[in-house]
Chains A and B, each alone.
Chain A
């Protein structure tokens, strides 16, 4: 076992950076603020779009306008900078802001209009809409649970893509292929064993298991780093990691 004698210290595989997109949205530096805001939009636009579609029942076009309008207004008014970690998670804060925005828009009986100007990040609404096929309700979940699950889905999806890019750049295609076939998209009728995976990938069982461990380790690192960037402080990060990553307590 590694580090059998050195039980006092972590091997430092956890993200320890204090850089946070959530902190950056309140920065006085415009470049820093834009960077932070873009990261927030990138992580949350899909959960926001789906939430607007399902919870508020807006049609495709209305939800697109609402999503763009919400982020544009949040940027304009500096809403996100007023987040206080002591009052709860950023995710919940964002959802409450969204609820307030939508309620005000509806109260004013105004059609939700897209705010003019260039979008901060490109939002592929078609992909978000396609993910909603067959899911026309919140399926008995609370709005907060639904929003959390969609945020987790977006977080994990972007981590899978990042993992693919990183492993390809390193020439570790075997690691990604093992991860894809074993963890990401196994045949539900015939889930692979390490031996069958090794045969399918033309490798040995030990190489495949090592490659899979490498992919999982990198995947875990990417997810945690991205989550760290989307939380304000250590305490919120730990709480979010518990809620989003682990399976619920039995």
Chain B
């Protein structure tokens, strides 16, 4: 039997695994990432002369059900036109029989690592954009089911993109049998973790968004204000009915906090309200205080 050195073995792995693109408009440049079902490559589109991302069914996923899932993902993404979602350009079958789809190549950093170097307000603004993309998908009847910091990309110009719709579910899709758990446990709603697929709705994504917000608030920094933490807590309520009804409402509550207001999820104490009032009207309070001080001085030293 032919002996293969370690380097020969690696070369053969690559030769076997690299999608066959001869005769197509694409040529593979490098592998970007590998998921449960597909591998994403950076590729060059020779027709439009631009780089694209090519998601190709992983070698071994040859059964028609996997190909159908990949195409369903491509069609779902293609049906969601929003600045926060990656546009799909093309889909088909490569000469080696593997199903693929081509999409915009996103250059940037995952939210999971990007957040560490950002001020809180920037993180919250990026989070709002994630919520807006999810809200748009919900309005089209699509639940993502795997929202997490690793599936959000922050582009080099600050654009926020929600990726990996591989396990998303459309409203018209039949539910998987109970007990099937898909998603990432850390960011997963209780009903999803329990395999209650019949209970998975937009509010399931709201829970995951709450978990992302919680991640953004923690992250080794001093704990954020109680008010914004209460937004994450409400989004992550165990009972779906106690959560925000949608991602839009969640984004709006974060917006209230960013504007110096009180999120609907938070009940302020009298002291906190006074403090917030003082913070918002600092100049006026200083002017009144100065006026009063002058009046007192006048009374004391220039008494008639």
Contact = CB atoms under 8 A, between A and B. Distances in A.
Interface stretch (B55-63, B110-118, B175-183, B195-203): B55-63
B62 A16 contact: yes
A46 interface: yes
Interface residues of A, number: 56
A152 B9 contact: yes
Contact of B2 (A11, A152, A161, A227): A161
A147 to B, nearest CB: 14
Contacts of B23: 1-2
B242 interface: no
A161 B59 contact: no
A245 B13 contact: yes
A15 B96 contact: no
B93 A154 contact: no
Contacts of A131: 3
B304 interface: no
B11 A11 contact: no
Contacts of A14: 60, 62-63, 97
Interface string A122-158: 0010010011000000000000000001001110111
Given A1-B23, A247-B10, A160 B60 contact: no
A202 interface: no
Given A161-B2, A216-B20, A10 B67 contact: yes
B12 A238 contact: no
Contacts of A158: 1
Contacts of B59: 220, 224, 241-242, 245-246
Q: How large is the interface on B (under 10, 10 to 19, 20 to 34, 35 or more residues)?
A: 35 or more
A7 B93 contact: yes
A12 B97 contact: yes
A3 interface: yes
Interface string B164-188: 0000000000000000000000000
B159 interface: no
Interface in A1-45: 1-4, 6-16
A245 B59 CA distance: 8
Nearest to A179: B15
Nearest to B16: A220
Interface in B1-51: 1-4, 7-17, 20, 22-25, 31, 33-34, 39
Given A3-B92, A242-B58, A185 B10 contact: no
Interface of B: 1-4, 7-17, 20, 22-25, 31, 33-34, 39, 58-64, 67-68, 71, 91-93, 95-99
6 contacts: A183-B11, A213-B95, A217-B20, A223-B16, A246-B13, A250-B33
